[in-house]
Every structure is written in structure tokens, then in C-alpha cells.
Structure 1
Amino acid sequence: MTTDYVAEILRATGTLRSGDPAGVTTIVQNALALAGLPGSGGGMAAGHPTRTTQMSQALLPGLDHTDQHSFRTGRLRRPLGEVIRSLQEGGKGLNLEGLPGLGRPLQVPELPLPDGAQFLEERYSCAAGTRRYRLYVPSTAADRLQGLIVMLHGCTQNPEDFAAGTGMNALAEEHRLLVVYPAQTGGDNSMSCWNWFRPGDQMRDAGEPAIIAGLTESLREQYAIPGDRIFVAGLSAGGAMAVIMGETYPELYSAVGVHSGLAYGSANDVMSAFAVMRGQAGIDPVPSRKPAARPEEGPRVIVFHGSADTTVHPSNAKAIVAGKGGTAGKISRIEPDAARGTRGYTRLVVKREDGTHGIESWMIDGAQHAWSGGHPSGSYTDPRGPDASAATVRFFLHGASDLPGT
């Protein structure tokens, strides 16, 4: 891919944001010419799979790779002309500012480590593929670890960036936890997004879920983690993939944390991903992959979402909860703390028969597409809180996010 081609793609994105989605067509056509793709010289024939993929990559960062599985399932991509018409009709209502993929990961310095702790650089391989990962091992690991958390980063992020922004390593040290940060590769997704929208990456024993589950199981065995103390969490595309992991491997993960993510099976191609991110109704999962119908079934789930998120519409949080059977629960309101400059939020809780919280959903006042309470040394963080990392760890380990004594 040439530098000029990349420049044209970035210019197309800027043109769409400036309110001229029709101008995107000409710019992308020029970009295709620079890339030497067929048909770029005059008019863009609808339905050409290569050009459809390139257009998708330009306007929805990370949604690349033609999904060969879609031909086996009958779920075909939309023609390019339809993509452009959709953008022209809905482009003005789609805020791409801050969309993962428009920025770049911060150059995060290596985090300081407590004496005896380790932040290892490793690789995992299985039949489904290979991924590098970072692994935080607390200094007290010899005293028996209390659990394992799999942390899935968002688009354009990497393990180091995500670890810095969430502050999860410090919590792991405090609670004697193992934390693993798998890294999505640029070769598998140009913007390092987990491919949550591809049917081949939404099922058990295939694609990215197989890689993440295999890595989880290998660490469980290596470090003798109790089977009921294994958890997964993620942000944005990583949050959507965390939902997939909970649905496809419910016996492996006891609880799932989702920040600014999307419901299981809500998209199966570029256009449906674009629609559901914008707040339109997602597709219905195929019957063999429908989520659990009751909060008592499957892993417990905690969800965080900003009420002002213009990248992934807040309605997606409600869709996650609804998919887990959480249509009714206790709602509480926490007001913002003006003195501390922290945000307020509304929390929905659905309890299980054993008293634990099967579902928690936090809607955070005025927050955008960022990890709540995160550290500014990482990308896509909102330091004004509430602290999603601390609440997630409490939910994972104790069955509720409530502070001790509350």
C-alpha cells in the first residue's frame, strides 16, 4: 500500500467529517487508482468485492479483510454503491471524531514494576493463528494467584497502551491477579481492531475466539488458576470481542467486562457494523448462536458506556443487557461530585439467586468513547471517572462492584 494511497484515504475520512460525503467517492476513486486496483479509471462498478473492502477500510477503520466465511453462510456484503448512498444519507449524523482508527496509539513508556513483579513479552500459537501478548505477573504470585483477567484492547491500541490507560496492572498487584493483554496484529486488521463483526470470528473453535480461548487455557494450566476465577474484559472492539468470548466459551469465563462495546452477533459485515455503531438496530443472531435467555445462565456481565459516546452509540449497552435477559433490575443513581470533578452515573443491577450481581450496567454522564477513570498516559481514557477498572475487579472477584462496607 503506497503512502499516497494512505494519504488519499485519510483525506476521504476528513471530507466525510467536514460534511461532504459525496466528495468521498471521487477521493476514494483516486485512491484506488493510486493503489492500481481494477476499475479505478472510470466509475466504480457496484458489487466489486475488492473495491467494497477498500471503501470499508477507508470509512470504517479496521473493518477490512473480505469475509470468506460470509459466502458459506449466505451473508454477502453490500454493493459499493449502497455503501456510498448510506454514507450520503447518514454521514451527517455519524460523528467520526475520536473513532478508533483515526488516532494512533500513544508511545507509552514501559510501566514501572514493583520489586519481584514481571511484565513479560510472550507469543502464543495454535491452529487458528499466532498473537503476541504481554503478561503481568504480580510480585506475590508465589503466594497463590487469585485469578486471571484477559484484557482486550480497542482499535489502534496495543497491550502496553491499554495497560497504561486502564491501570489494571496496579490492581493486579493489589489483588494478586495475573493479567494478560493479547495483541491484535496489523496483518489481521489494519487498525489493530479485533474482528468482532466477522461471522468467522464470532464462533467457538474458530478464528480469534479460538486464539484467545487457547491462550487463556494455557495460562490457566501454567499458573494453576482456579477454574472459577478466569475473566475477560475489553474496550470498544475489544469489548465486543469480550462479549463473544463469554458467549462462545461460557464454561471458561466466570465474568465478562464490557466498556463501550457491542452486543453478540449484532453485525455480520461492514454495513451492519456501521449501522449498529450508529445506534440502528443490529441483526438477529442466527439461532445456534443466540445469547443466554436468563441472567442466571452464562458468565456474569458488567457493562460501562458513556452517555455521550458518538463512536459506539449508548443503545449498544442496552442491547448487551437485553441479550443477557436483563430487562428488569434495580436502578440506582450516583450524582456527580463537583468538588472532585467526577462524573455521575446510573447503574442497573440484576441479581442472581445466590445474591451476586448477574448483570451490572453503568451509564456514565457525559462520557464519550473512553475508558472511565483511566489514566491519561493511555489512549481513549477519561480520568474523570468513575473508576471502571476498580469496579470491574470488584465485580469479578466479589460478585458485585460495590465498595467494601456499602
Structure 2
Amino acid sequence: MLPPFLPRLAVLLTLALPTAAPALERISAFGDNPGDLAMWIHRPEGHEGATPLVVALHGCTMSAESFDDETGLTALADAQGLMLLFPEQTEENQPRKCFRWYDEADNRPGDGESASIRNMIDHLLDSEDIDRSQIFVMGLSAGGAMSAALMANYPDLFAGGAIVAGLPYDCNRPRSFFTYAVWQYWRMMRHVQGGTYDGWDASYACGIIPPNTAVDRAPDDWARYVAELHDSAPAGWPRVSIWQGEEDETVDPDNLEELADQWTALHGLDPEAPDAEEMIAGATRKRYLDTRGVIQVETWDLPTLPHAVPVDEDGAPACGIADGAYMEEGEICAVREIARFWGLL
């Protein structure tokens, strides 16, 4: 039989042991929150002075914490001195926890979720030492589509962005009267059958299953959808890194080309004429340069990647968790390559 003091001693020793601080901190009050999103941040350890800010948007069914853990963002932020902001969707807003990139009530400047995320950024600009010239946004899937929406909404705010398995801004505009009629019929039938409609069905026109066929529009049309949000052209458009796997069975891989069309056209570049093309670990990277020789748009085409963020779990340094949801070992660390493209490494 154990002496009676040992259990108490064990409890005291446990309480005395240092505990690891949580990677993410919840910020409950950050101003108006019309999109009803949650806000999480990570402050880099051991860095002083103004830091760049990276806004990271998770994919459907994910949380801020899981997206952070599985991509390796916190490790990168601590190594490079980056403040991280993780907006988080709720099941009350969207049953699959997808950001509402498809809804005009959430993807226009100053409205809904777009406004909530903007207010999170403004809160950090007021409360933290953030380098205002280095604010970036990245996301996966619905988070990638919302990243495109945020850059379209607030081009003067973001220096750059990254879209992984995402979609062009406003891709769910009806392709034609016929497809619009089919979509409306689909909505009606879902209602009759007792299903719910929250706008997600609008993805019909964007190359998401169903029917998983990307809409093919002219680059100038794609660019117009963004430009018409603003009374005048911004001082400059964000620099954009676009990633897509050819084995993606959720988002039509042809959206890589449509996204490239949209953002090269905004930058006044020819989407058919990349200035550089190379192979990296089986992926094809294309780069589009402006007249100063600055890369404004890059695309990564990964032939064996499914609907996922490529990670390099065995790399040096290691990056991400290969068996995480929507993560895939690809011998390429997407978050590091994106940070390199932004000039943060």
C-alpha cells in the first residue's frame, strides 16, 4: 500500500511542471463582426519590432487550430517572425464550416465575412506592431476562394496572397440563362425534398462537384469582376501564388488556369506567356513578371496532388503533417514556398 502522502505529492509535482503555451490565442473583441466569425492569432516568439502579418483561412470541415497544426504555419512564423491571424468559420454560419466565398452578402467590400476579417486585421494594426506594408492572405479550398475575395475586396491592404485549390473571384456568376435555370431548378428541388440551401449550391458554376467542370471565361472578364468593385484602380494589385493538384476530385484543376487568367489580367500581363517555367519535385512552376522584373503571379501545377496542401514532413526543416486532413506529402513545403514568393524568408 502506498504511503498516503504520495498521491498528494504527485499532484503537486504535476502542477509544478511547466506547461506549453497554446499555439493560438482567441481574440473575442475585435470590433464589428457581421460575419460572426471567430478570431485566433499567433504571436511569434523571440522577435521584436514590426512584424509581417499572414492571414490564414482554413478549408471546409477544418478549424483554425487544425489548419495551423497540419500546415506547419506556427513553426514557420516563429522561425521568420510572422504574426498569424486565423479567422475561423462556425457550423452555425455554414454547416460544413466553409467560408462563404460564394455569397454576395459575404464576399463584397464591407459586408459579412469579408468585413469581419477586415476588422480583425484593423484590430491587429491598432493593437500590435504590424508592418502595414507586409500583410498577406492565404487559404485552402473555400479558404483559398475567400482569399481571392479578400484580395479583390481590399487590394490596397494586401501585399500578396496565395490560393491553394481555390477558385476565381465571382466564379459563380451564371454561365448562361440555361445554366442559371438549371441551378435554380436544383435549388427548388432541394427545398421540395427537405434539403437546405445556404448558397453553397452556387458553386455549381465554379467547377466544384457537382458538376466539377470549371467555367472558362476570358481573362478580361475575370479581371472586370474584380475591377468593378472599385470606383478607381488601386495603387497596385496583390502579388498572387496559385496552387492546384491535377488529382483534385473536389475542385476542377482547370481552375488553376482561370485563376491565372484573372490575376495576370489585373496585373496587365499575358496569361499565355509566362516569363519563366521550371520543374520542382515533379511540379511545374510558371512565373509572370512585370516590366521591372518583379514576379507578380506564379502558378504551381502538381500532377499527383489531390485536394490538399502539399507538405514536406521529412524535409529539413520539416513542414506540416502529411496525414492531416487535406494535407499531402509532396516533397514541397507549400507554406515555405509561398512565404519565399512573398519575400518573407
Alignment RMSD, CA only? 2.8
When residues 158 and 314 of structure 1 are mapped into structure 2, their CA distance, relative to the original with a 3 A threshold, is same
Q: 2:42 aligns with which of 133, 136, 142?
A: 136
What is aligned with 1:244?
149
1:322-379 CA deviation, whole Å, 9 max, x = no partner?
A: 011251212423254xxxxxxx111110112343210010001211100011413531
Query: Using CA pairs below 8 Å that are at least 6 residues apart, which structure has the higher relative contact order?
Result: 2
* TM-score in terms of structure 2 length: 0.74
Asked if structure 1 preserves the Cα contact closer than 8 Å seen for 2:43 and 2:83, the reply is yes
Find the aligned partners of 2:167 and 2:333 in 1 and give their Cα distance: 20
Verify: 1:345 aligned to 2:283, yes or no.
yes
Find the aligned partners of 1:394 and 1:280 in 2 and give their Cα distance: 29
1:115-136 CA deviation, whole Å, 9 max, x = no partner?
A: 8895312224415243222211
Find the aligned partners of 1:298 and 1:114 in 2 and give their Cα distance: 44
Q: Gaps spanning 5+ residues in structure 2: where?
A: 1-17, 174-198, 312-319
Q: Indicate the SS of the match to 2:321.
A: coil
Q: 2:124 aligns with which of 219, 236, 247?
A: 219
Asked if structure 2 preserves the Cα contact closer than 8 Å seen for 1:145 and 1:176, the reply is no
* TM-score in terms of structure 1 length: 0.63
Q: For 1:348-363, what aligned pairs fall within 5 Å after superposition? A: 348-363=286-301
What is aligned with 1:306?
245
Find the aligned partners of 1:286 and 1:346 in 2 and give their Cα distance: 24
Q: Indicate the SS of the match to 1:181.
A: strand
When residues 362 and 288 of structure 1 are mapped into structure 2, their CA distance, relative to the original with a 3 A threshold, is closer
When residues 318 and 286 of structure 1 are mapped into structure 2, their CA distance, relative to the original with a 3 A threshold, is closer
Amino acid at match of 1:388: A
Q: For 1:190-209, what aligned pairs fall within 5 Å after superposition? A: 190-209=95-114
What is aligned with 1:27?
none
Find the aligned partners of 1:222 and 1:138 in 2 and give their Cα distance: 15
Amino acid at match of 2:203: A
Q: 2:134 aligns with which of 229, 233, 240?
A: 229
What is aligned with 1:258?
163
Amino acid at match of 2:116: I
Deviation for aligned residue 1:256: 0.7
Asked if structure 2 preserves the Cα contact closer than 8 Å seen for 1:132 and 1:183, the reply is yes
What is aligned with 1:384?
330
Find the aligned partners of 2:300 and 2:19 in 1 and give their Cα distance: 32
Find the aligned partners of 2:33 and 2:258 in 1 and give their Cα distance: 33
Find the aligned partners of 2:276 and 2:138 in 1 and give their Cα distance: 23
When residues 114 and 256 of structure 1 are mapped into structure 2, their CA distance, relative to the original with a 3 A threshold, is farther
Asked if structure 2 preserves the Cα contact closer than 8 Å seen for 1:272 and 1:282, the reply is no
Q: Indicate the SS of the match to 1:304.
A: strand
What is aligned with 1:366?
304
Deviation for aligned residue 1:288: 6.3
Find the aligned partners of 1:147 and 1:261 in 2 and give their Cα distance: 24
Q: Indicate the SS of the match to 1:201.
A: coil
Find the aligned partners of 2:338 and 2:19 in 1 and give their Cα distance: 22
What is aligned with 1:279?
213
Find the aligned partners of 1:388 and 1:159 in 2 and give their Cα distance: 17
Q: For 1:5-404, what aligned pairs fall within 5 Å after superposition? A: 119-123=24-28, 124-141=30-47, 143-268=48-173, 270-277=200-207, 278-281=212-215, 289-290=226-227, 297-324=236-263, 325=265, 326=269, 327=271, 328-334=273-279, 336=281, 344-373=282-311, 374-376=320-322, 378-397=324-343
Q: Indicate the SS of the match to 2:37.
A: strand
- Count of matched residue pairs: 278
Q: Indicate the SS of the match to 1:228.
A: strand
1:260-288 CA deviation, whole Å, 9 max, x = no partner?
A: 00000001555541242212316866956
Amino acid at match of 1:298: W
When residues 383 and 224 of structure 1 are mapped into structure 2, their CA distance, relative to the original with a 3 A threshold, is same
Asked if structure 2 preserves the Cα contact closer than 8 Å seen for 1:302 and 1:360, the reply is yes
When residues 397 and 223 of structure 1 are mapped into structure 2, their CA distance, relative to the original with a 3 A threshold, is farther
Deviation for aligned residue 1:246: 0.4
Q: Indicate the SS of the match to 1:226.
A: strand
Find the aligned partners of 1:114 and 1:359 in 2 and give their Cα distance: 43
When residues 350 and 285 of structure 1 are mapped into structure 2, their CA distance, relative to the original with a 3 A threshold, is closer
Q: Indicate the SS of the match to 2:24.
A: strand
When residues 186 and 171 of structure 1 are mapped into structure 2, their CA distance, relative to the original with a 3 A threshold, is same
